[in-house]
Amino acid sequence: MNFPHLFSPLQVGPYRLAHRVVMAPLTRMRADRTSFAPRQLNAEYYAQRATPGGMLIAEASPVQATGRGNPGTPGIYSQAQITGWRAVVDAVHARGGLIFLQLWHVGRVSHSSFQPGGAMPVAPSAVPITGNGMLAMTADGKMVPYETPRALETEEIEQVVEAFRQAAVNAKEAGFDGVEVHGANGYLLEQFLQSHTNLRTDRYGGSIENRARLLLEITQAVSGVWGAERVGVRLSPYGIANGSGEADPMPLYTHVIKALDALGLAYLHFIEPRSSGAGRAEVNWQNVPSAMVLFRPLWNGVLISAGGFTGETAEAAIAQGHADAIAFGRIFISNPDLPRRLRHGFPLTPYNRATFYGGGEAGYTDYPVYDEMAPA
């Protein structure tokens, strides 16, 4: 098995990666359930997957208490959380790896049981998630219909921008190498982008330029903390996760990607449409466009793509110039030494979806590295 492009160096901002196998941000719901701070178990998990000159993108982390929508997700808005993340970062750096933190606000993909004071989740507009099988998780683990979110007042949007900016400061204090703004998978920033979830009539609604304003303001605010060369953005054009989906994505995402391209960011990170499902189920949509193929001509910087790649398809994407690096999710969960396995053609351990979310070591830190000496 020969993947020369996948295992060639890549410059990402100020960092020179030794290979192009990136760990995608993966919600695992294993932070402390009271403080929402990472634990030693989380540090062990990330360290297992770190390689010299390899890049990990840590799981989505709410930038404020109102941005939470799942139990056990680590935040980046308190001192305890900063301290917990510092232990994770130190463990990754000890293995020679790089680690970015994904900054998150779920918006309407939440439930009042997660919100301070039991308030309604916030969103660009009072549009609930509906549809067959679309259910919200409560803080005690029940599945219920989504509530109608409360539309943010115009002046409150400034507070959201500030929350992302402060989270970027906190991530820097924790020692991360950079941050990624989560603008994908139907969460708050994508809710502002898309016309069916953004019915606003102020400067954040209506035209494509207005709907893209929040994502761009947040990206610029975060870049003011880190420098644009240490900031990435994740998008999911043609995605349908969490009730998302723009009727005609091309005009919207053409504008967004061109505007982001002008900022000189570290990278743009796509979730391929074939895998749009936010991890809740096996998804491989057929006959959908490729985000990296469609939008690569608009993006002059480093492009990372994720979504159901194998070693062979990752190598082909890079060799053909459609992407510069590939982010792997599910198979990185079950193969902590994934770069080594791909490089040498070692077999992959299958993942167990039942252990993706919540729990302890099982399905988290107990997947073995490949033993070349073991009998077949």
Mind telling me the catalytic residues? 187
Question: Smallest Cα–Cα separation from 216: which of 249, 258, 178?
Answer: 258
Rg of the chain in Å (alpha carbons):
19
Pairwise CA distance, residues 42 & 161, whole Å: 28
Phi, psi of 297 (to 5 degrees): -65, -20
Phi, psi of 164 (to 5 degrees): -65, -40
- How far apart, in Å, are the Cα atoms of 339 and each of 19, 20, 144, 327, 365? 8, 9, 40, 11, 17
Neighbours of 295 (CB within 10 A): 25
8 Å CB contact between 86 and 174:
yes
Q: What's the token pair of residue 277?
A: 């499902």
First to last CA, the chain: 19
What residue has token string 């992959």?
Answer: 348
8 Å CB contact between 127 and 205:
no
